[in-house]
Chains A and B, each alone.
Chain A
Amino acid sequence: GAGVSQTPSNKVTEKGKYVELRCDPISGHTALYWYRQSLGQGPEFLIYFQGTGAADDSGLPNDRFFAVRPEGSVSTLKIQRTERGDSAVYLCASSLTGGSTDTQYFGPGTRLTVL
């Protein structure tokens, strides 16, 4: 079946602009996660959705970052007033129930470059 998909695959923007990154999880998966991977580092947690609600947003670095999942499927990560330090690969993952033994399945990521 189809895996997690993310669009766009690459996004180049200028400092101060607003960007939206989209994630389409595996069909039927109720849990959705956003991670950020900087060069040479492992992915770092940003936010976790269970259904439509953000169950844990403790990883969002500041209030410029926001994410939604209005219908419990597709999610959008929104970044306002982008900064050069926001440049990274943004990964989305989904899992069946969000349970602690669940496997998270990752999408290919969106590479964000802020000039």
Chain B
Amino acid sequence: AQSVAQPEDQVNVAEGNPLTVKCTYSVSGNPYLFWYVQYPNRGLQFLLKYITGDNLVKGSYGFEAEFNKSQTSFHLKKPSALVSDSALYFCAVRTPQTGANNLFFGTGTRLTVIP
């Protein structure tokens, strides 16, 4: 079985401060990990993914994420938050070894950047 946990329903951060949105996973085999962002009344927008190689992945809008195999984590980070980063963030995992092509999503973390 595969699952994704986003332990924080809500994260608040002041504009200009670094932000972290946490994600941990549980899978059989090697995971492929994804982050998406969802703005109100809009679909999910892809931010970044980890497939293999360098554990630090850089993505859209200045976001990055670090794959940590020993801690089974894939936390999303940004050095300096913007008010426009306020949105709902989803971590997702896929394990190709299972033969499944779909993504398993976490329950989401709502990020609020305070001006």
With A33-B102, A56-B100 in contact, is A42–B107 under 8 Å at CB?
A: yes
A107: B residues at CB distance < 8 A? 43
Residues of A within 8 A of B32 (CB): 100-101
Instruction: Compute how far the CA of A55 lies from the CA of B92 in the bound complex, rounded to whole angstroms.
Output: 20
Closest chain-A Cβ to B86's Cβ sits at a distance in Å of: 17
* Known contacts A48-B101, A104-B103; is-contact A43 B51 (Cβ 8 Å): no
A43 B41 Cβ-Cβ under 8 A: no
Are A91 and B44 in touch, CB under 8 angstroms? yes
Partner of A43, one of B44, B96, B101: B44
Give Cα distance in the complex from A79 to B44, angstroms. 23
- The answer for the CA separation of A44 and B4 in the assembled complex, in Å, is 12
- Nearest neighbor of B9 in chain A, beta-carbon distance: A40
Give the total of A residues in contact with B, Cβ under 8 Å.
Answer: 27
Interface size on B, residues (CB 8 A): 25
Contact check, A108 vs B43: say whether CB atoms are below 8 A apart: yes
Q: How many A-B pairs with Cβ below 8 Å?
A: 60
A43 touches B105 (CB 8 A): yes
CA separation between A56 and B36, bound complex, in Å?
A: 23
A31 within 8 A of B: yes
Q: A42-B92, A42-B105, A91-B43 are in contact. List 8 more A-B contacts (CB 8 A).
A: A42-B108, A45-B104, A98-B101, A100-B96, A101-B49, A101-B51, A103-B34, A108-B42
Contact residue among A35, A42, A100, A103 (Cβ-Cβ distance under 8 Å from B101): A100
CB-CB under 8 A from A31, the residues of chain B are 101
Q: Which of A6, A41, A48, A101 is within 8 Å of B102, CB to CB?
A: A48
Would you call B101 and A41 a contact (CB within 8 A)? Answer: no
The verdict on A65 contacting chain B, using a C-beta distance below 8 Å, is no
Does B94 make an interface contact (CB < 8 A)?
A: yes
Taking the closest CB of chain B, its distance from the CB of A70, in whole angstroms, is 21
Chain A CB count within 10 A is highest, among B32, B36, B94, B101, for: B101
